[in-house]
Amino acid sequence: MIDFLTVLIAVVSLVILAVPGFILTKAKLLNSKAESFFSSFVLYGAQPVMVLMGFQGTKFNSSIGINVLITAGITVAVHLIMAVILMLVVKNKGDTEKRKVVRYASMFSNCGFMGFPFLQIVFANSSLIGEVMIYGAVVVAIFNILSWTLGVYIITGDRKNVSIKKIVTNPTIIAVILGFIFFFTIKVPFVELPTPNTTLYSIVSKLMNSLNVIGDTVTPLSLTVIGMKLANVNFKELFINAWGYFVCAFKLIVMSLVTMLCVCFLPISDTVKYVLVFLLSMPCATSTALFTTLFGGDGKSATSFVLLTCIACIVTIPLMFLLFTVLI
């Protein structure tokens, strides 16, 4: 269904989309305030809209409902397996603050900012795009739940910092819940409810188009933010952090392998397999740096891990996909 060239082109496309943010920041036409604005707009505005509209891309059928549960279960399983591996490999000794960040960065993927755009590019001309975005929304929802519970505990070591409120009020989680409600109750896209060629049909279709435009901004804006971050990094310091290479190995290779082993030998939809492998093979989550800001910790290392894995994934994603095609 998906070939190596398609994946390679998708990775190159992500790099190209990050270039304007890099250049404009270097030219001092964009600053940290713009980065903060773009990040907030994507996280709290565009991404939830894109997730919600993802459920409007296909009609309901029972197999999708089953695949949603499978996707959620495997996503949880992969994260728990990675948590156990990292707990055994990265012991609490020496620089414990850095080691906490290493554990978090090595198991939580940038499935929202980079994963969604990647899926949109790879499946752009596929009839499965609606189904793909539903499974992607499930992965992102599970990511948010786990990052605000298990992830926060890994960063802080204190259960008191785990926030159920942050989960319940997370815009993406709300969008997923609403999407599922509409998907399982209405069972057809909103645009198909009114009679064609009526005034109501025209209103609904224009409204859906407007929402799609908002959701489509996730791809250029999220990659612009990554380009801006790269423009502000000291590349010499980025490449001399030994822990950075450890994180690259575990996040981009080990987690990809764990995901493949969890999906390749199960009698499940190939579409589910592709979504899980792609999204869980993404670089470190941007929340790696966010959580060190919120809860204290080694913020400098957190940022370097995110950026170094963003650079390394240009090579690892296509190569891991080649291995996946052999196993699938």
Residue 118 pLDDT > 70, yes or no? yes
Closest of 184, 171, 168, 207 to residue 134, by C-alpha: 184
Give pLDDT, residue 274: 96
Instruction: Check: CB of residue 107 under 8 Å from CB of residue 86.
Output: yes
Q: Report the mean per-residue pLDDT for the chain.
A: 88
Give pLDDT, residue 129: 86
Give pLDDT, residue 269: 93
Residues with Cβ within 8 Å of 87's Cβ and at least 6 positions away in sequence, in order, are 103
Give me the mean pLDDT over the 234-252 stretch. Answer: 88
pLDDT tens readout for residues 125-153: 888 888 998 999 899 989 989 998 999 88
Closest of 129, 140, 102 to residue 301, by C-alpha: 102
Measured CA to CA, the distance from residue 9 to residue 7 in angstroms comes to 5
Residue 235 pLDDT > 90, yes or no? no
- C-alpha angle 261/109/215, rounded to 5°? 120
Give pLDDT, residue 240: 82
Give pLDDT, residue 327: 86
pLDDT tens readout for residues 172-199: 889 989 988 988 888 888 888 898 889 9
Burial (CB count <10 Å: 0-12, 13-18, 19+), residue 67: buried
- C-alpha angle 193/195/199, rounded to 5°? 105
Give pLDDT, residue 94: 63
Give me the mean pLDDT over the 157-178 stretch. Answer: 84
Better-predicted residue by pLDDT, 281 or 37? 281
Per-domain residue ranges for the chain? Answer: 45-219+233-327
Residue 155 pLDDT > 80, yes or no? yes
Give pLDDT, residue 95: 61
Give pLDDT, residue 172: 86
pLDDT tens readout for residues 19-54: 999 999 999 998 888 888 888 888 888 889 988 888
| Per-state percent for the chain, helix, strand, coil, to nearest 5 | 80, 0, 20
Better-predicted residue by pLDDT, 277 or 159? 277
Q: According to the 3-state scheme, what is the secondary structure of 249-303?
A: HHHHHHHHHHHHHHHCCCCCCHHHHHHHHHHHCCCECCHHHHHHHHHCCCHHHHH
Percent of the chain at pLDDT exceeding 90 = 42
| Highest mean pLDDT out of 81-95, 158-172, 265-279, 300-314 | 265-279
> 45-219+233-327 maps to which CATH number?
1.20.1530
pTM of the complete model: 0.89
Least confident of 70-84, 232-246, 305-319: 232-246
pLDDT tens readout for residues 68-92: 999 999 999 999 999 999 999 988 7
Give me the mean pLDDT over the 88-106 stretch. Answer: 84
Measured CA to CA, the distance from residue 220 to residue 215 in angstroms comes to 11
Place of tokens 């999708």: 64
Give pLDDT, residue 325: 92
Phi, psi of 109 (to 5 degrees): -95, 155
Residue 251 pLDDT > 90, yes or no? yes
Measured CA to CA, the distance from residue 19 to residue 26 in angstroms comes to 11
pLDDT tens readout for residues 211-230: 999 988 888 888 888 888 88
